[in-house]
Structures are given as C-alpha cells and as structure tokens.
Amino acid sequence: MKKDFLALSQFSKAELDAIFALTKELKKKQKSGVEHHLLKGKTLAMIFEKSSTRTRISFEVGMYQLGGHPLFISGKDSQMGRGEPIKDSARVIARYCDGVMIRTFAQETVEEFARYASIP
C-alpha cells in the first residue's frame, strides 16, 4: 500500500521513533563496512524545482548507499507545472520510478503530485 510522506504531522511518535531507529542502525552498519541494499533495483525520481546542494547530495548518496538509483530532474529538465499538468507528470514518472521526492516552492505541488502518482 502506498504511503506518502507529505508532513511530519501525519506520522505518530512511535512511527517516527521506528524510522530514526532504523536510520541509526543502517548508519552504524555503513560505518562498520556492512553493505545493505534495501533499495536494490529501485529508482527514486528527485524533482528539484528549487535547487539545494545539501538535499540533492543527501538523497543521492542515500540511494547509492542503499543500492538504489537516484534520478535527478531539475526545474529546467521538467515541464511539470509549465505546460505539462502535474497530474500528467505524476502518472508518467510513476510508470518508470519506484518513488519520488520533490523540492518545490509550494506544498500544494507536492500534494497534487501525490494525488495522481501511484508511487510514494
């Protein structure tokens, strides 16, 4: 079942604690040289309407470390919201990717994308 991460408020404290515990465990394994490929064969579309060096690096490195493939899409590379409706972009990207993260100027863009995408 698809579960989008649109806001911290949609998660309980227990769910957030579990997420942080898992990240702590994975970081510890990474530092000790244990590889983990939880996202092997998965592709994450990373849509950046608003550029950010730290966000891009953290998501790209995280995907590589987990065995996945990051796909960077800049605002210049995408017509999303500029001639191509967000719902069309969401449906097409969902056919090729397993997940999506969006850095944009408006939360409404993220929420509209989530409504039409079949991937988290």
pLDDT digits (tens, 9 = 90+) for 18-47: 999 999 999 999 999 998 899 999 999 999
Short-list 72, 17, 68, CA closest to 49: 72
Q: How far apart are CA 105 and CA 8, in angstroms?
A: 18
CATH topology for 36-116?
Answer: Rossmann fold (3.40.50)
Please list the rounded mean pLDDT of every run of 10 residues in the chain (120 residues): 91 96 93 92 96 96 96 83 84 97 94 96
Model pTM above 0.95 = no
